[in-house]
C-alpha cells in the first residue's frame, strides 16, 4: 500500500534515508541540462553501503518493466524468490501491484518520484518503505526514458526521523 507520492519537481519530499537525498543530488549533477542522465554516468561507488537497496529496471514502450539488477536487501525485505529474484514480477500479487503502480507512475511522469508506504509479504509482518525512483536514458541523446533506478529504504521511522531535502 502506498501512503504518499511526491513528484520531486513539484515539491520537496521528506526523505527518510540520507542516502536518498544524496542520490537525488548525484542524479541532478549527472543530468545537467539533459532530459535524463545517461545510466552509464551513474556512479554506484559513491553509495557503497547502500548498493543492496538499489534496483534497476528497464522500461519497455508499452510500460512493461524488466529487472536488470535487484539488490540483496530488497530481495530479503520483500521475500523475493531465490531462484528468480524478480522485482518486477514477484509471486506476491499485492506487492506486484504496488511496485507496478510506482513504476508506471514514474515512467508516465518521466521525472523523479518518491513513494512511502507499507508492503506485506505473504505471511509476514508489514514492511515500511520509502522509495526514490529516478529515470535514466541508456543512449545518447538522452531524450528517451529507458531505465529506472529504485532506491529503497526499509528502516522503521517515526515522524521525527523525516527530513526535507535542502533547497
> 33-65: per-residue pLDDT in tens?
899 999 999 999 999 999 999 999 999 988 899
Is residue 90 within 8 A of residue 124, CB to CB? The reply is no
* Number of C-beta neighbours around residue 97 at 10 A: 12
Do the bridges between strand 14-15 and strand 54-59 make them parallel or antiparallel, or are there none, so unpaired? unpaired
Residue 49: CB partners within 8 Å, gap ≥ 6? Answer: 19
> 100-128: per-residue pLDDT in tens?
999 999 999 999 999 999 988 777 788 89
Give the separation between CA 58 and CA 77, rounded to whole angstroms.
22
* List of domains in the chain: 2-57+67-156 (3.30.450.20)
Q: Residue 74 above 70 pLDDT?
A: yes
Give the separation between CA 51 and CA 60, rounded to whole angstroms.
24
Residue 54 Cα to chain centre, angstroms: 7
| The model's pTM | 0.88
What are the backbone angles phi and psi of residue 94, rounded to the nearest 5°? Answer: -65, -45
Amino acid at each position: 500500500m502506498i501512503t504518499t507520492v511526491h513528484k520531486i519537481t513539484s515539491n520537496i519530499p521528506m526523505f527518510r534515508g540520507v542516502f536518498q537525498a544524496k542520490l537525488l543530488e548525484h542524479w541532478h549533477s549527472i543530468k545537467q541540462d539533459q532530459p535524463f542522465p545517461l545510466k552509464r554516468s551513474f556512479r554506484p561507488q559513491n553509495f557503497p553501503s547502500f548498493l543492496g537497496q538499489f534496483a534497476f529496471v528497464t522500461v519497455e514502450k508499452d510500460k512493461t518493466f524488466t529487472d536488470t539488477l535487484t539488490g540483496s536487501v530488497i530481495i530479503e525485505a520483500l521475500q523475493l524468490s531465490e531462484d528468480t529474484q524478480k522485482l518486477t514480477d514477484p509471486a506476491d500479487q499485492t506487492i506486484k501491484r504496488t511496485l507496478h503502480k510506482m513504476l508506471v507512475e514514474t515512467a508516465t511522469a518521466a521525472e523523479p518520484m518518491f513513494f512511502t508506504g507499507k508492503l506485506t509479504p505473504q505471511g509476514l509482518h508489514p514492511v515500511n518503505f520509502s522509495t526514490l525512483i529516478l529515470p535514466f536514458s541508456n543512449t545518447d541523446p538522452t531524450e528517451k526514458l529507458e531505465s529506472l533506478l529504485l532506491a529503497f529504504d526499509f528502516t522503521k521511522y517515526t515522524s521525527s526521523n523525516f527530513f526535507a531535502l535542502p533547497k
